[in-house]
Every structure is written in C-alpha cells, then in structure tokens.
Structure 1
Amino acid sequence: MTSSDHTASRRTVLTAFAAAAAAGAPLIGQLAAATPAAAFDPNSTTEYPSNTKLYQDPDLVEGNQYGRRWRRHDRFDVKLSEKSDYARTAILALHGGGIEKGTSELALGIAGYDPGDLVGADNLPAPAILPTTYDYFLFEGLLSEGNKALHVTSKNCDDHIALSLARSHFNVLSLHGCTFDQIKLPTSEFPTTGNRAVAVVGGLNPAFRAALVTEIKNAGFQAVDAYNSKYSSTLGEFNGSHVTNPCNLTMLGMGAQLELTGELRASLFGDYDSRSGRATTWNQSGGRFEAFRDACRRAVATVEATQPIL
C-alpha cells in the first residue's frame, strides 16, 4: 500500500518545549539540541521518512520488531567460448510480514522458493522448489500487532540491499497490499458487494504491466492496469509511478508493481491471519496461490524473452 506523504515527525517536540521552560533557556537552542523522547508507538499513523530512520530508531531491534531476508544467486561466466545468462529480474516485498500480509510469502513463491522453508540442513539455504529462480528482498514486520507503523512509503525506501538489487537488474516486480475500498474502482464493473479480489498492476514498464494483466486474468483472477484510462483517475497512489520507487530503479529505469487487495491475498492461503499460518498453508488454497504465483512467473518470462544479454 502506498500511503500519502506525512510531514509531521514521528517524535514529538513537546519535550523540548518543557525542557526549555524549566531551564529558562532560549527555545530555539533547546529545540536544536533536543533528543527524540517518544517511544515507538505501534498505533502511530505517522510514517518513518525512510528505512534509514526506521533502522536508527533505538526502540526497534532487527530480528525482534522487523526483519530482512534477501538472496542474490551465484551466477558466473568463466568460459571464453560460451555466453552465460545473467539475472535479469528481482522480486521485492518492501512491506512484508504483518505489514501487508501475504506479500512476502508470495514474493518467495514467485522467486521459486517454498514460503515456509527457506532454511535447510545445517542452516544452509533450502533448495528452490521451481526450476527457475529470481533474486529477492523482503522487509517484514514481526510485531504481534501494529505492524502498519513499520510502513515506509516505497518512494522513500533507501535500504541499501533493496536498492542494489533493483539497480543491478533489468526488471523488478514489487508486491504490495491495499484494500478494495482504497482503490475505488468503477462500481459498474467492480461492485462493492461483488468479487473484491483484485490486482492493480503498476510501474513504469508498459510491457511488463501488459504481461502481468494478461497472465493474471488468464489464471482466473481480476487485474487492472493502473494506467488504463478506465481506472487511472483513482489509482494515482497505487500506480507505482514515482521514479524513486524501487520497482523503477532498474537498469532500464522502469519496472512493475502489484497492489493486491486483502481479499485477493487472503484467498491465496488456507490460514491467512498468522505468519506461521501463511507459511504453512500457501499450498492449501485450492491451487490459487500456485496459479497466481505461476501467472506472475509467466509474465516475468515473457518480458525477459525480449531482453537479451548483449
């Protein structure tokens, strides 16, 4: 989900006002030297302005409140007589875990891995479950509740690993979550009492968007192109258009983004509500997870087929 920009700081300056009054010191000087005093609030609606600021919050500990997982596959060319392939696509879930539920599990599936089994024997990476794999990055909220407070708007993402993956690939597919009511699609085509499981396809790569819409629809799901004039008037915050959105920070300067409604994401799991439930029941949705995963993988393959390594 792409949130509106917030200009207010996460930390209140009231402490600085109180300190200045008590000390009789000039207010400006006290404000300049003030140290943020408010503890992390899981109910806050004010976003961190960047991943850097989130990581610097002393109230948050990586591995406790949030976590990151990533994989860059080992590819190499050591033979002058042969031409080897190069990794062209990376899969991102910038708001995974409990922030936008289901996006990290789906990202792992599209990347070719079992969402519930990434660690094998002796803590070595578990093998892929599909023959073709993609590099991936996940930022995941690990709180029991209030994970929305860990959301950083995509265009403000400055995580070094996420950005390095994006900039070293031709394509990025970034997965996000939204609600059906937020996207405000025409009720004539998408009545509020009808099928609310919808994928909004964005990003600046029109060929990638077209492939995703086609494959997702062919797999039996609803999908709309955020740039289609029928829908674009209400999808400005969900179209992945910003040039600093990691999906567009590729070698080509464009990529793709999926905004998936809660109803769609929930339908991909036997147990959607908990992290452990999603990890263990992705293959208990009557084939819907696999169908959506494979539709995205076919779209990636379609786009990559037009991108030879020169």
Structure 2
Amino acid sequence: MCGMSLINRRTVLTAALGAAAISSTPLVTGLGAAKAHATSEGDVYDSNTDLYKKLSGQEGIQFSRRYRRHELLDNERGERHPYHRTTIMALHGGGIEKGTSELCLGIAGYRPDTLAALFPGEPVYDYWMFEGLRLPSMNLGSNRELHVTAKHCDDHVALSMAASSLNVLSLHGCTAEQAGVRGGQDPKVVVVGGLNAAFKKLLHEELGKHFKTVDGDDFPDLAGVHPENPCNRTMLGKGGQLELSTELRESFFGKDTLDGRAGSTTEEFKAFAGACRKAIIRLESRADQVIL
C-alpha cells in the first residue's frame, strides 16, 4: 500500500460541560444506547447537517466522526494502478448502536484499540463512522437521540467516500425481535441487506458458515434498500448492509461498555470481521469490479 492518512475528528473536551465535571466522569459505561431504530420515526434531527448545526461545538463531547482514506497515487502515463473499491461504514456507532464502531474498524482491517493490523498482510479498507459519546452522568439525554436514519445521512465526507467506492458495507444494530427471533430461538442473528444482490449472496455464504443470517427482504425496516441509503450511493448504485442483533454484538466483547469494547474483542468478533472480509475479497474479484 501507499502511505496512509488518519483523520480523527474527536476534539478536546471543552469547558462547555465544565472541566471539573468532565475530569471526574470516568468513561466506564455504554449506557444510553437504546433499542436499535432502523426508520426515521422518532429521530430528533432531520439530517447529519441538522445535528451538526444544533450541536455546534459539541463534537468530541456528545458525538464524533472518524474516518480513514488510504492514499492512492497514479502518476504514470499509459499504465493502470490499483484503485479503491470498498468502504466500510458505521452510521450509528459509539453508544447509539453499540459495537458497530469497533466492527467497522475490524472489517476495515484494524484493531479497534490500537489501529494496528488485525489481519497482518491482508488488504485494508477505507472507513467512516459517526459515534454517540453521551454518558448518563452528562445529563444530555440518550445516545438514541443522536440517531439519524441512513437515508437522511448527508455528511459530505461519508457521501463522497460512498460515491467514489464501488462497494460499501454498512453496519447497523437491531434487536433480535426486529430480526424475527421468537421465544426459544437463538437471538444472535444478522440481517443481510442492501441493493447489491451479489454482495448479499456472498455475505450469506461467508457469514453463514458460523453465524445465523436472515435475508433483509423479509424485514423491510432492516433491508437497506432505499437508494438514498449511503450503502447504495456507490459508483454502482448498490451496496451491502448488515443489521446485527444486540446479543450478537454483545458476544464480540469481553467488556461491553463505551470505552471497554475496543480493547476486549473476542474470537467471535474476529471471526465475524474475517467472514465479511472474505465476502469483500470475493466480490472485488468479479467482472463488474473492473474500471477501464
């Protein structure tokens, strides 16, 4: 790979909440993450821009944006060089749909705690995420209130990354009940959606070797088929989306808290990330992944 650039939009905690109050508040809980909410019903903010404006100055306190774009260079006439194909996204990370931030980094190829290679020698992918950082002690409301439904995401960096990618894999959280699980059934399940039928098939095949998958076509609120969903705003006009049940996401971490998840990932976490990466590698070998 060429050189890489890391962008972390977390800002220094300001005096807005009081320096003393902040310094005395340990980040030891992920509380405030409500039930996953796949539709716009109940959203407080109309779009990401609406949220950014109304919470101006609160980035790094109430929410954060993190992304990574890997540098590519083509300065040779008459030759073709590797080009970017796939971006991983978590639109509702942090305390909103817990575990999706860490999984976004894992699938992209990075350890969530140190950003060291999770799969040494293997490809890495661009990523973008929005995270809720609210803690109960802040008395600012729940992280759920920071949820902006996917089709209303208008973050310019997120959309530009999707638009310049052939593929996007977007990660979300749902409840087992939303995914069709009934009493006595295994609540650890992932709903596979998005408009890219080939990608969906590959995700079913790779994830299905170890995890329970269900088709998004059976769950309209979780299907990820809206054309304005960033997962489908790619160069090909289609992408993939995964909705993971709460119980499945909980199995990925030894310490399931806002600050504890990154450093306590389990073998299940790596297995899930690895399965997604195998699906991506297979997808990128297809004929429709070639740009002339």
What range is the shorter-chain TM-score in? 0.7 to 0.9
**Residues 125-140 of structure 1 aligned to structure 2 (within 5 Å):** 129-130=119-120, 131-140=122-131
Report the Cα distance in structure 2 between the residues aligned to 1:305 and 1:203, rounded to whole angstroms: 19
Q: What CA deviation, in whole Å up to 9, does each residue of 1:234-288 have, x standing for no partner?
A: x11100010100000000000000000001100111112x122101001xx2x11
Q: Deviations over 1:187-229 (max 9, x none)?
A: xxx54222100000000000000000110011x10011212xx
Residues 113, 127 of structure 1: 8 Å contact kept = yes
Alignment of 1:309 onto 2:291: yes
Counting matched residue pairs gives 249
Q: How far apart in 2 are the matches of 1:178 and 1:53?
A: 24
Partners in 2 of 1:129 and 1:213 — Cα distance?
21
Contact 2:169 2:241 in 1 (8 A): yes
**Which position in structure 2 is the counterpart of 1:4?**
39
Gaps of 5+ in 2: 1-35, 137-141
Is residue 219 of structure 2 the alignment partner of residue 221 of structure 1? Answer: no
Structure 2 residue corresponding to 1:299, chosen from 264, 267, 279: 279
CA distance in 2, matches of 1:2, 1:84: 41
CA contact (8 A) 2:70 2:126 kept: yes
Q: Deviations over 1:100-136 (max 9, x none)?
A: 0000100000001110113xxxxxxx66754211110
Secondary structure of the equivalent of 2:263? helix
Q: Which residue of 2 aligns with 1:260?
A: 244
The gaps in structure 1 that reach 5 residues or longer are 7-44, 119-125
Is the CA contact 2:191–2:244 (under 8 Å) kept in the aligned structure 1? yes
Identity %: 50
Q: Which of 48, 67, 71 is the equivalent residue of 2:68?
A: 71
Asked if the contact 2:173–2:245 (Cα under 8 Å) also holds between the matched residues in 1, the reply is: yes
Please give the root-mean-square deviation of Cα atoms over the aligned residues, in Å.
Answer: 1.6
Among residues 245, 259, 276, which one is paired with 2:259 in the alignment?
276
* Inter-CA distance 308–74: structure 2 relative to 1 (3 Å threshold): same
Residue type at the aligned position of 1:67:
S
Question: In structure 2, how many angstroms separate the alpha carbons of the residues matched to 1:198 and 1:58?
Answer: 34
- Residues 223 and 276 from structure 1, CA distance in 2 versus in 1: closer, same or farther, beyond 3 angstroms? same
In structure 2, the partner of 1:26 is none
Give, in whole Å, the separation in 1 of the partners of 2:244 and 2:55.
32
Question: Which amino acid counterpart does residue 115 of structure 1 have in structure 2?
Answer: P
Aligned pairs for 1:197-208 within 5 A: 197-208=188-199
The DSSP-based 3-state class of the residue aligned with 1:278 is: coil
- What amino acid does structure 1 have at the position aligned with 2:290? P
Report the secondary structure of 1:139's partner residue.
strand
Q: Give, in whole Å, the separation in 1 of the partners of 2:233 and 2:93.
A: 20
Equivalent-residue separation in structure 1 for 2:78 and 2:134 (angstroms): 52
- 1:83 alignment counterpart: 80
TM (norm. structure 2) is 0.81
State whether residues 94 and 258 of structure 2, in contact with CA within 8 Å, keep that contact through their aligned partners in structure 1. yes
**For the residues of structure 2 that align with 1:279 and 1:309, how far apart are their CA atoms?**
36
CA contact 1:210–1:225 (8 Å) conserved in 2: no
Residues 249 and 270 of structure 1: CA distance in aligned 2, closer, same or farther (over 3 Å):
same
> Is the contact between residue 110 and residue 296 of structure 1 (CA under 8 Å) also seen in structure 2?
yes
Paired residue for 2:200?
209
1:170 and 2:166 are equivalent in the alignment: yes
Change (3 A) 1:64 1:95: same
> Segments of 4+ in structure 1 off by > 4 A?
126-129
Aligned to 1:152: 148
Residues 109 and 117, structure 2, Cα contact 8 Å, conserved in 1: no
Paired amino acid for 1:204: L
> Take 2:52 and 2:81, find their aligned partners in 1: how far apart are those partners?
38
Which structure is richer in relative contact order (CA contacts within 8 A, separation 6 or more)?
Answer: 2
Kept in 2: contact 1:201–1:209 (CA 8 A): yes
Distance 1:87 1:2, change over 3 A: farther
